């Protein structure tokens, strides 16, 4: 993939502002728990745009892309195992002693 | 003037490209450790929010959505000017590079100014955690926890912004003495990576602290 240009940065920036606006407007709707999923989802898309275009993640050599993927996967493991613990804590009866 | 590439190329690298690739890799590894640090805080926030959803919605409702949104747009703009600065450095347009770096600093300071205004407002409304916190209601203790997370996470983010501003000041001084050029501009790329990462952190901070309180 060729390196980003001035135009690429400008369109990415406009896209980010658009996503920010959409995310803020959606937050005013009553979507229950689904609203939070959309908010975090849109924030993730924005983060991918910043990391991929402005930080050249899409254009970097394979080693760096593996480092990025490793960091993100490690974070997701930390998040999912912790939440798994909190969700399932009450499933089994607790016996003292 | 001496050749900046020859001056900056360290002896253990064969080419400036190899040196740049190594610097990029090292910076990305560092940023992933930053991800782990902020990630731990995000995990802790998520646990507390699942346990106290109403209190966290109540705390979030106290946020000034206008200031938060404007600040988000401001920070995204600073990422654009930083990106343009990186392109200018690559093209060897030193004067434009200096201007764009200065603009990035000014936008960063505007962000910090607005953030400080918000902190003062929270303090005046007795929402700062600790002895200053004063709120009644069944969820008050958990609302205080919301503000503990808010101040720690946005505060840590602000510290990163301040560090970023000093790093950009360093770039401006290096640019002024002529140690950056089209052939050697690795420091601009590295500081740019840091600045954009801080932007990513804010994107998520905005989503978890400002938006939940808007749900009707």
| Contact assignment for B32 to A50 by CB distance below 8 Å | no
Q: What is the pLDDT at residue A3?
A: 82
How far apart, in Å, are the Cα atoms of B208 and each of A17, A41, B154, B164? 18, 12, 11, 23
* Lowest mean pLDDT segment, chosen from A58-62, B190-194, B212-216: B212-216
Q: What is the pLDDT at residue B4?
A: 59
Q: What is the pLDDT at residue B2?
A: 56
Average the pLDDT over B27-39 and give the result: 97
| Contact assignment for A51 to B196 by CB distance below 8 Å | yes
pLDDT digits (tens, 9 = 90+) for B134-172: 988 899 999 999 999 999 999 999 999 999 999 999 999
Confidence of residue B3 (pLDDT cuts 50, 70, 90): low
Residue of A24, A29, A30 with shortest CB distance to B69: A24
Chain A interface, best mutation among B22, B68, B215, B216, by max A CB count within 10 A: B215
Q: What is the pLDDT at residue A93?
A: 79
The number of beta carbons lying within 10 Å of the beta carbon of residue A1 is 8
Q: What is the pLDDT at residue B105?
A: 98
Average the pLDDT over B187-206 and give the result: 97
Average the pLDDT over B7-26 and give the result: 86
Q: Are B42 and B205 in contact (CB under 8 A)?
A: no
Of the candidates B24, B73, B15, the one whose C-alpha atom is nearest the C-alpha of residue B191 is B24
CA distance A95 to chain B (A): 23
How far apart, in Å, are the Cα atoms of B18 and each of A4, A61, B184, B198? 20, 12, 12, 26
CA distance A61 to chain B (A): 8
Q: Which residue has the higher pLDDT, B158 or B215?
A: B158
Residues of B numbered 65-124 whose beta carbons fall under 8 angstroms of chain A's beta carbons: which are they?
65, 69, 72-73, 76-77, 79-80, 82-84, 87
Residues of B in contact with A28 (CB under 8 A): 214-216
Instruction: Work out the mean pLDDT of chain B and round it to a whole number.
Output: 94
What is the mean pLDDT for each group of 10 consecutive residues in chain A (97 residues)? 88 98 93 90 97 94 95 96 90 74
Domains present along chain B, CATH in parentheses: 15-214 (1.20.120.80)
- pTM to 2 decimals? 0.93
pLDDT digits (tens, 9 = 90+) for A58-80: 998 999 999 999 999 999 999 99
pLDDT digits (tens, 9 = 90+) for B88-110: 999 999 999 999 999 999 999 99
**Closest-CA residue of chain B to A79:** B43
Q: Which residue has the higher pLDDT, A43 or B10?
A: A43
Q: Which residue has the higher pLDDT, B198 or B18?
A: B198
| Contact assignment for B28 to A30 by CB distance below 8 Å | no
pLDDT exceeds 80 at position B12: yes
The number of beta carbons lying within 10 Å of the beta carbon of residue B103 is 17
pLDDT exceeds 60 at position B1: no
Chain A interface, best mutation among B47, B195, B200, by max A CB count within 10 A: B200
Confidence of residue B5 (pLDDT cuts 50, 70, 90): low
């Amino acid at each position: 993939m060729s390196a980003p240009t001035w135009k690429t940065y400008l369109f990415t920036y406009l896209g980010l502002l658009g996503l920010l606006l959409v995310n803020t407007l959606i937050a005013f709707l009553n979507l229950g728990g689904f609203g939070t999923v959309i908010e975090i989802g849109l924030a993730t898309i924005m983060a991918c745009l910043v990391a991929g275009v402005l930080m050249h993640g899409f254009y970097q050599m394979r080693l760096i892309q593996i480092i990025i993927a490793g960091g993100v996967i490690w974070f997701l493991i930390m998040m999912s195992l912790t939440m798994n613990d909190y969700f399932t804590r009450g499933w089994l009866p607790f016996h003292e002693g | 003037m001496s050749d900046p590439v020859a001056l900056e190329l360290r002896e253990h690298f064969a080419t400036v490209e190899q040196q740049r690739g190594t610097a990029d890799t090292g910076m990305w590894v560092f940023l992933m450790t930053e991800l782990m640090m902020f990630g731990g805080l995000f995990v802790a926030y998520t646990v507390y929010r699942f346990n106290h959803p109403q209190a966290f919605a109540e705390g979030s409702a106290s946020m000034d959505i206008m200031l938060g949104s404007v600040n988000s747009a401001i920070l995204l703009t600073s990422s654009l000017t930083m990106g343009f600065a990186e392109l200018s450095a690559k093209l060897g347009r030193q004067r434009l590079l200096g201007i764009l770096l200065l603009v990035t600093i000014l936008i960063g300071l505007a962000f910090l100014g607005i953030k400080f205004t918000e902190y003062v407002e929270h303090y005046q409304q007795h929402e700062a955690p600790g002895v200053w916190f004063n709120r009644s209601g069944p969820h008050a203790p958990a609302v205080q926890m919301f503000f503990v997370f808010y101040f720690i996470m946005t505060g840590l983010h602000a510290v990163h912004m301040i560090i970023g501003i000093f790093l950009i000041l360093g770039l401006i001084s290096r640019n002024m003495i002529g140690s950056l050029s089209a052939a050697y501009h690795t420091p601009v790329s590295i500081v740019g990576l840091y600045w954009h990462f801080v932007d990513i952190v804010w994107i998520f901070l905005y989503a978890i602290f400002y938006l939940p309180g808007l749900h009707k």
